[in-house]
Structure 1
Amino acid sequence: MPREGFATRRRAALFDALLELILRDGFAQLSIADIAAELRCSKSTLYTLAASKEQLVTATVTHFFRTATEQVEARVESSKTPRERVIAYLVAVGEALSPASEAFMRDLDAFPPTRSLYELNTAAAATRVQKLIADGVAAGDFRNVDAAFAADLAASMMSRIQRREVWAATGLDDAAAYRQLASILTAGIDAG
């Protein structure tokens, strides 16, 4: 049993190290040999994690989004009011994306499996924002706005952020764009 625990910790540590690498440098230009050298492990060790570089990258990006979701939800959970929850959610999403370099975002968008993961997570985030807004309307903290419309508005901007359109138009990185979205959205629906 102790060996299994070590193997699990080792796998998690490798995924964390790989995530740090690809967030910093992107992944399109990296080979399995490059990754192994950077992580100071063998290629065969990497092949125990996934059968190909593409599968390894996809598993690592999945790990990134899973971890980010847990962190975001923890921030929401610690917020007291519906307004604070919406702000915490959007700001935490931006913070989760802040370590992502331009190279990573470009590679994420260019590789269909990881682009699909980002789109799936953006859709889930829009659904979550809709629920948070609906809760705020029900509590009287937000004006009686259509929560689905407000969430769709947020989702549209989230998709533009994901596609790098906001960065191209404004120069705002993803984290800054999410902070701006939180500020503008909550000011627009605030009951006070």
Structure 2
Amino acid sequence: MPSPRRTARQTDLLERLVALLTAEGFASFTLDELTERLRCSKTTLYQLAGSKQELVREAVKHYFQEATRSIEKQVADASEPSDRVVVYLNAVAEQLKPLSRQFLDDMAQFEPAREVYEANTRIAADRIRQLITEGVAAGAFRDVHAAFVGEVVAATMQEIQRGQIATRTGLSDSEAYAELASLIVHAVSP
């Protein structure tokens, strides 16, 4: 479903809301605190969504829509199949960098936000499958099972975003994505 048309003021407010929530999380905020921090009225917030839960979902959805646009712009600039995979995963890492651990933890605990996150992870896995399939068709990659590679990437992305990879390996999210990109490209190269 496409996003509703927003005024410039509403878009600015949504982007400020996204910046606040991604930096500090959202579980502990009340609507009163949000209006105070964003310097707006509840009525203005309710123009974006009808409840705190819907506001959070809208903010998470907006964040991932903007991230996807940025990632795809970067991928469009890469021509070699292996570069496209690396650019894609590195761009994902860059988009996730500003997300605080608190935001990620809150998102994991709040079903509407988690659903948006999980849908975007599935989209990312599908995109990796597509990039691998294109690379196989172009003869740049071995004939691998692209769906399986996509599932491995999706599972690893979930572990990175939950903080599990950092805990177990000491790698930052960005370093983990770089390692994942290298692993995938080397695994599928002829």
Q: What does residue 26 of structure 1 align with?
A: 25
Q: Which residue of 2 aligns with 1:162?
A: 161
Q: Which residue of 2 aligns with 1:59?
A: 58
Matched, 1:135 2:134: yes
Equivalence for 1:147 = 146
Matched residue, 2:43 = 44
CA distance in 1, matches of 2:175, 2:51: 34
The whole-number CA distance in structure 2 between the counterparts of 1:58 and 1:146 is 34
Q: 1:117 to 1:173 in 2, by over 3 A?
A: farther
**Segment of structure 1 superposing worse, 64-73 or 136-145:** 136-145
Q: Which amino acid aligns with 1:91?
A: N
Distance in 1 (alpha carbons) for counterparts of 2:34 and 2:19: 11
Give the whole-Å Cα distance in 2 for the aligned partners of 1:45 and 1:103: 26
Give the SS at the match of 2:7. Answer: helix
Gaps of 5+ in 1: none
Match of 1:100 in 2: 99
Q: Distance in 2 between matches of 1:30 and 1:88?
A: 35
Q: CA deviation at 1:120?
A: 0.8
List structure 1 segments (4+ residues) > 4 angstroms apart after TM superposition.
Answer: none
CA distance in 2, matches of 1:154, 1:102: 21
Which residue of structure 2 lines up, in the alignment, with residue 68 of structure 1? 67
The letter for the 1-side match of 2:124 is A
Instruction: Report the RMSD for the aligned CA atoms in angstroms.
Output: 1.5
Cα distance in 1 between the residues matched to 2:138 and 2:80: 9
Cα distance between partner residues in 1 of 2:176 and 2:10: 33
In the alignment, residue 55 of structure 1 is paired with which amino acid? Answer: E
Residue 50 of structure 1 and its aligned partner are, at CA, apart by 1.2
C-alpha separation between the residues in 2 aligned to 1:71 and 1:132? 17
Q: Distance in 2 between matches of 1:27 and 1:21?
A: 8
Percent identical pairs in the alignment equals: 42
Shift of 1:147: 1.5
Deviations along 1:53-98, whole A, 9 cap, x unmatched? 1110100100001111111111111111111111111111111111
Q: CA deviation at 1:188?
A: 1.8
Aligned length: 186
In structure 2, stretches of 5+ residues that fail to align are: none
Normalised to the residue count of structure 1, the TM-score between the two structures is: 0.91
Alignment partners' CA distance in 2, 1:136 and 1:165: 30
Q: How big is the shift at 1:127? A: 0.7
